[in-house]
Structure 1
Amino acid sequence: MEKTTLKLKDQYDAFKAENPKTRIRDAAKQLGVSEADLVAIGHNTIALKADFENILKEIKTLGYVMALTRNDHAVHERKGVYTKATFNGHIGLVVNPDIDLRLFMNAWHFGFAVHEGERQSLQFFDQDGEAVHKIYLTEQSDLEAYGALVSKYKSDVQGEPLQTSALDKTIIEKSDDEIDIVGFQQAWLNLKDTHEFFGLLGKYGIARRQAMRLAPEKHATQISVDSLKQIIENVSERELEIMVFIGSRGCIQIHTGKAQKLLQTGPWFNILDPEFNMHLREDSIDSVWLVKKPTTDGIVTSLEAFDKNGNIIVQFFGKRKPRIPEREDWRQVIADFAKAI
């Protein structure tokens, strides 16, 4: 075990010397290992016990932090305080105006306290070593509380290679003729809540991107990647409050608020506000859909972007809460766009 760890550490050190600006996620891919493998061998990394629910319940003691959730094509960073972490089976919620998360704890397998220079964080990974969620301290965080938390949940086993295992994340789409399309479309039209949509896909055996193609008429319209950006730019100009959903296999992270400072950097379309940052890689987007779902509060409209494999990258909604209709200003932005195409 020690020999394997040392060999990887030497390889990573050599890689960093030649590629000092490459992010650890990309370095892992180039070295043929997982990000968690590289995090685990860090000089100041501490492995944590797999008591993730209790760790998350105590994050509130750290005060003001930055939560980060990402997938291959988008990054969601939101600053605030963790409060109200609750769990029901493998499903967890952190719900407050700052940090808003949907947690799927069966995907949380490894955890570490990571010290990179002056940056300190808690990082959590899936069974295959892919990051599900990270929490970074800020200048306003409670360092003493962080030290106490790490000490309390420090694993008895340190420095050993991780026992990761590959996960098959391939999305299988049935052929359309195997699907009850009429039944599916009627069930879509009968939706009472947006949260029912996932169950609807399972009931009819339909992949999410496939559902866009098979949706009832005028309930899913494909638009261009540039159109997505135009809509967000319009939202920014009008200072509307929206919701931005980006997820990993173990966490969906949600921002509710404005998207004010927009910046294009190469292929990345960014929102760079004081409390919220989004980094969206446009050249990884294969299709974008304007989606309408019925609810008891009226139609709810979203923008949904997918990669070439059918994975959802990001979703945008107008700011809303249960039992309150969708915002008219968001609907107006979408209506104005629809008139222009």
Structure 2
Amino acid sequence: MSTDQNATQSAGAAGDDLVGRRAALAAAEPGLRVRDQAGRLGVSEGELVASAVGRDGADGARVVWLDADIGDLIRAIETLGPVMALTRNDHAVHEIVGTYGNVKLGAHAGLVINKPIDLRLFLKRWHAALAVEEARGDTVLRSLQFFDIHGLAMHKIYLRPDSDRAAYDALIAANRGAVQQAPAFEPAPTPEPVAATAPEGFDADAFLTDWSHLADTHDFLPLLNRHNLSRPAALALADGRFARKLGDGAFRAALEAAARDQVKIMIFVPNPGCIQISGGTINRVEPRGPWINILDPGFNLHVREDHIAAAWQVDKPTVDGTVTAVELYDDRGELFLIMVGVRETGVPELPEWRALVHALPGSAA
């Protein structure tokens, strides 16, 4: 038997074992989400979903590996009509209904801007594309799911009742891999904590002077890169001038105030391969367990409040005046959500948004 045949058999046996363990877990804890199942089973979400490629998995899941250029798939999503776009990280889930269109893909980044769909794509991080069909109660969910090399979900696209099912079936048929086998994933490296303070001898005055000369919010990341400084360290240096640490519950208070006063807001949820953005008024803000949620028709946001290690008000000068943001960080110092007032280029930010943020409680620490 050849080495390739041995490897294929080994991978198949491993897949069979994972499918079996997932089925047992699903039976023991019905309703457990795939991401949580993966955590319980000690594998990545991508590896768990892909284990059903070429076979029926737990909960009736049927998965097809798509052997296609990721960019071509993204361009083709427009044919499906209205869909639900989902982007998440470990702490926040952003879901919005709309139709893909106006896709622009470059060498380093891409855009999908067909409001309300608003995405920034970093496709070099995307590794595998899977078409997933799974039973959820009496319904069948059909989706396209994209993962990085470590099995981390980059983006998901779910069909809606008014989506074009024939176009979806045609897309899968046209891009189905000739040999249906699970794509390979690699173990993720252990994440390092983000530096919370500037290095010894750092020129804080020069950094803050450069901050004061920002002309656009998009200049902020290049500013950090030029000074080789992390976001948490930058905020610590700017505290009292361009930044203010917010108190516990400030994010929920901001959502509730925005809903009550109908202040138009934008919410950005990033992961390494995608940033998903929403813009407009919100209405229904509701806590459920550890989650604080926006539950509006066509737009849902879910944030683990207990994962907010730090919330900051961050002020960035621009040619149109100061842009005020609320930024959320986890216990490793990673940014996982940004909220700002709706603003068009060339127009100052909404004064009611600025007043809302300035009224949020500050940290007692």
| Pair in the same fold by TM > 0.5 | yes
Q: TM-score, normalised on structure 2?
A: 0.89
Check the 8 A contact 1:188/1:215 in 2, yes or no: no
What 5-or-longer segments of structure 2 have no aligned partner?
Answer: 1-10, 57-61
Question: Is 1:29 aligned with 2:39?
Answer: yes
| SS of equivalent to 2:311 | strand
Give the CA deviation at 1:88. Answer: 1.3
Check the 8 A contact 2:198/2:234 in 1, yes or no: no
Question: Is 1:191 aligned with 2:201?
Answer: no
| SS of equivalent to 1:237 | helix
Q: TM-score, normalised on structure 1?
A: 0.96
Give the CA deviation at 1:178. Answer: 4.7
> Which residue does the alignment assign to 2:59?
none
Higher mean C-alpha displacement, 327-336 vs 235-244: 327-336
Give the CA deviation at 1:163. Answer: 3.2
**Percent of pairs identical after alignment?**
40
Check the 8 A contact 1:304/1:316 in 2, yes or no: yes
> Which residue does the alignment assign to 1:10?
20
Matches of residues 221-300 of structure 1 in structure 2 within 5 Å?
221-300=244-323
Please list the CA deviations of residues 291-331 of structure 1 after superposition, one character each: whole Å capped at 9, or x if unmatched: 10000100000000100001112111000121111112212
> Which residue does the alignment assign to 2:49?
39
Change (3 A) 1:178 1:89: farther
Question: Is 1:121 aligned with 2:139?
Answer: no
Please list the CA deviations of residues 200-246 of structure 1 after superposition, one character each: whole Å capped at 9, or x if unmatched: 11111111122111126421100123122112211110111100010
Give the CA deviation at 1:29. Answer: 1.2
Give the CA deviation at 1:142. Answer: 0.3
CA distance in 1, matches of 2:245, 2:257: 19
Check the 8 A contact 2:194/2:332 in 1, yes or no: no
Higher mean C-alpha displacement, 215-224 vs 241-250: 215-224
| SS of equivalent to 1:260 | coil
* Aligned pair partner of 2:67 in 43, 49, 63: 49
Check the 8 A contact 1:271/1:277 in 2, yes or no: yes
| SS of equivalent to 1:326 | coil
Check the 8 A contact 2:65/2:183 in 1, yes or no: no
CA distance in 2, matches of 1:113, 1:178: 52
Aligned residue pairs total 341
Give the CA deviation at 1:58. Answer: 1.0
Higher mean C-alpha displacement, 207-216 vs 161-170: 161-170
Matches of residues 128-167 of structure 1 in structure 2 within 5 Å?
128-160=150-182, 162-167=184-189
| SS of equivalent to 1:145 | helix
What 5-or-longer segments of structure 1 have no aligned partner?
Answer: none
CA distance in 1, matches of 2:269, 2:296: 16
> Which residue does the alignment assign to 2:107?
89
CA distance in 2, matches of 1:292, 1:128: 35
